[in-house]
Homo-oligomer: A and B are copies of this chain.
Amino acid sequence: MKRIAESTVRRLSAYLRFLEEFEAQGHQTISSGELAAQGGATSAQVRKDLSFFGSFGKRGLGYSVSALSSSLREILGLGRQWNVVIVGAGKIGAALAQYEGFRARGFNVVGVYDEDPARVGGTLDGVVVRDQRELEADIARLKPHIALIAVPAEAAQALVDRVVRSGIRAILNFAPTPLTVPEKVTLRSVNMALELEILSYALVNADD
């Protein structure tokens, strides 16, 4: 299949969220225009995005809400459970471990790790914080698919190396530092201070 732009995947995700709401309201069909209105996209964009994966609509009618929902879940790989380990049980790690939005979408936190003895043994939303030294053994045993990195910037690369060596292929990084991974591994980063700096730039350059 053709290479799909990340921006497209991002929007598919948004479409799916809205479709689920729309379905709950009892609607049967939806047009590309209605779907677009939601996330600030255009109807052409919606149709183009979907066209990369097939023809899901009926001309003159629109899309079946339920059929399109399940197609999108299929495309995004959300028709299954994903197991997630969280590395770092500080403020951010703890908040992530207890975030309901993950479980609701099929992402199960199967382990939380920290190196601080004061944190090890504690419980976060039913998951016990384990010693970071158990990481390799646990990954071998539990075979989680995704690792969330929530440790200080200085420690992040070493931990990424460890989880990659243990077989993890997808990483979501919250440490404010650039990281490198082998090509076969997908790495995404969320950098909250960076987001604020972009707002800072916008505020300083607002022309009004």
- What residues of chain A have their CB less than 8 Å away from a CB belonging to chain B? 1, 4, 6, 9-10, 12-14, 17, 38-40, 75-78, 82, 84, 91-92, 94-96, 98-99, 101-102, 104-105, 107, 145-146, 169-172, 176-178, 180, 184, 186, 188, 190, 192-206, 208
- CB-defined contacts of A95 to chain B, threshold 8 Å: 91-92, 94-95
Pairwise interchain contact B172-A186, C-beta atoms closer than 8 A: no
Contacts A14-B178, A172-B196 aside, 13 further interface pairs with beta carbons under 8 A come to A9-B201, A13-B198, A40-B180, A76-B197, A77-B203, A82-B200, A82-B203, A91-B99, A94-B95, A146-B199, A146-B203, A170-B199, A170-B203
Pairwise interchain contact A200-B77, C-beta atoms closer than 8 A: yes
With A40-B178, A77-B201, A201-B9: A102-B193 Cβ-Cβ less than 8 Å: yes
- CB-defined contacts of A184 to chain B, threshold 8 Å: 206, 208
In the complex this chain forms, how many copies of it are found? 2
Bound CA span A14–B195, Å: 11
With A184-B208, A203-B145: A196-B82 Cβ-Cβ less than 8 Å: yes
Pairwise interchain contact B204-A107, C-beta atoms closer than 8 A: no
Bound CA span A104–B171, Å: 26
- Determine which of B4, B84, B192, B194 lies in contact with A13 in the assembled complex, contact meaning CB atoms within 8 Å: B194
Query: Distance in Å from the Cβ of A166 to the closest Cβ of chain B?
Result: 16
Which chain B residue lies CB-closest to A104?
B193
Query: Distance in Å from the Cβ of A21 to the closest Cβ of chain B?
Result: 10
Among A6, A9, A13, A95, max chain B CB count under 10 A is at A95
Pairwise interchain contact A107-B196, C-beta atoms closer than 8 A: yes
- CB-defined contacts of A94 to chain B, threshold 8 Å: 91, 95
- CB-defined contacts of A39 to chain B, threshold 8 Å: 178
Query: Distance in Å from the Cβ of A109 to the closest Cβ of chain B?
Result: 11
